[in-house]
Amino acid sequence: MKKQLLTISLVGLSLLAAAQNKVTINAGDGKTIINKHIYGHFAEHLGRCIYDGFYVGENNKTIPNKNGVRLDVVDALKKMKIPNLRWPGGCFADTYHWKDGIGPKAKRPSIVNTWWGGVTENNSFGTHDFLNMCELLGTEPYLAGNVGSGTVQDLTEWVQYVNFEKNSPMSNLRQQNGRATPWNVKYWGVGNEAWGCGGNMKPEYYANIYRQYSTFMNPQVGKEKIFRIASGASSDDFNWTETLMKNIPVSMVEGVAMHHYSTFGWDPGVKGSATDFTEAQYFRTMQQALKMDEFIQKHSAIMDKYDPQKKVALVVDEWGAWYEVEPGTNPGFLYQQNTMRDAILAGATLNIFHKHAERVRMANLAQAINVLQAVILTKGEKLILTPTYHVLEMYNVHQDATLLPIDIKSDDYEVGKDKLPAVSASASRDKAGKVHVSLVNLNPNKPQEITVNLKGLTAKAVTGRILTSAKIQDHNTFENLTKIKPAVFNGAKLNGDELTVTLPAVSVVVLEM
């Protein structure tokens, strides 16, 4: 009898433990829009991102292209619904002089890309090439201006060149170079990482420099007021944000940037392999990724002191995972593979951005093709859609949807003495009234049973998609392009105003109700 009671008690405890993951969706409290620009991307003149990534040249006869831009890349990014694309850097931006990249290509001067591999940059892909490509992609360009080695005149003339329609020296030059109408570029970065590769400036100095540049970047030079983004902090440098917000009037800035990479450190050889890693290394990567929540909260609190109406956006215009390069590749090209670890990281990070959508209104994954946490890898005519690509494609249902606040109680995922929440989640309602819930199981060893309380929501049916694989190290290769791809998910059961979900280990799920 005692043995029987013990068995019953253990079963009860087991069931209780399995039911600890609880998500409550407060459907009646939704008011904040998840800005689609949170799903932005980044294309720097770095390694094989531009050349051999986006751009294969007009004379390429083996890879289908339009004006040198790969059409398979265009199709893939359109399906992902890429809302904006940042260019030409990154560190490269503060060495880039835009006039070198306009006019006849045979007459464009070459430079050395001193930041990334020491290769010769022939400037065959310049302003017209990038902005026309953005039109082809159906995405908004985000231009990063040169503050580190440029001048106020250089940047203000670039604004005029791409945005001014009437008679002026720069608009006339644009027309001479084959573009009659302006592109009306809205998003402009005023330098990049001014605390580091953008000039090793102190925050007080950069704040003054920013005020100077911003003054002469006429916000109404085109049809739409431009959106000026100040070079922001790295991760937990809260003093940088404090100094900028204290010294730059809200009327002179539309966005303040922030960069955060999930990495083990910046010394050579410490970042670890992109594919050959232990569970302990996976756990450390997730620890770094989830710090994004804390960093955004603290930077936002500082911004709230000086901008309580939240007029200025927090722009996380570089984020992602940074590992050692693939063996045998140029260390300066930052080419790395992409596994289920990166899919989990992407899903959890996007859920964090959603949570803070009131202040975070733009972000850019680093980088789009063949660099860092890329969504696309290319090799000749072949193209890989990475696990990260699939997460962003699955999540695009949240773009411009209304955030539905959630309360979440999660089991722990433990490695040694450390622990993280096993479950990450977010929810939104789109303009058609459909509710989408994104769920991530960070635990690579154990499925998660989740009870979702649909507070204030009447749902008639639920469907879903899942991205998962047997191991966190799994990835797509040029020999097996589709080892990891989304599939139909049948692990959600609807019962009145409650949803029961069984999340497989190491998985990302998006539900639609």
Instruction: For 67-126, give the DSSP string.
Output: TTEEHHHHHHHHHHT--EEEES-SGGGGG--GGGGSS-GGGPPPEEETTTTTEEE---S-
User: If 0-12 CB within 10 Å is exposed, 13-18 middle and 19+ buried, where does residue 169 land?
Assistant: exposed
C-alpha 321, offset from chain centre: 11
C-alpha torsion sign, points 210, 213, 215, 219: negative
Considering only CA atoms, give the Rg of the chain: 24
- Counting Cα atoms < 13 Å in the Cβ hemisphere of 64 gives 7
**What pairs with residue 457 in β-bridges?**
none
Contact 439, 391 (CB under 8 A): no
The per-residue DSSP string of 439-462 comes to EEE--SS--EEEEEEEET---S--
Torsion sign (Cα): 17, 342, 141, 118: positive
Closest residue by Cα to residue 340 from 511, 484, 481: 484
Rounded Cα distance between 353 and 12, Å, is 37
Q: How far apart are CA 237 and CA 195, in angstroms?
A: 10
Residue 446 contacts residue 505 (beta carbons within 8 Å): yes
**Residue 459 tokens, joined:** 């749902």
Determine the Cα–Cα distance for residues 382 and 481; give it in Å rounded to an integer: 9
What's the token pair of residue 487?
Answer: 């599939």
The catalytic residue positions are 193, 318
How far is it, in rounded angstroms, from Cα 342 to Cα 357?
A: 22
Q: Using CA atoms, how far apart are residues 438 and 486, in angstroms rounded to an integer?
A: 14
Instruction: Read off the amino acid at residue 159.
Output: V
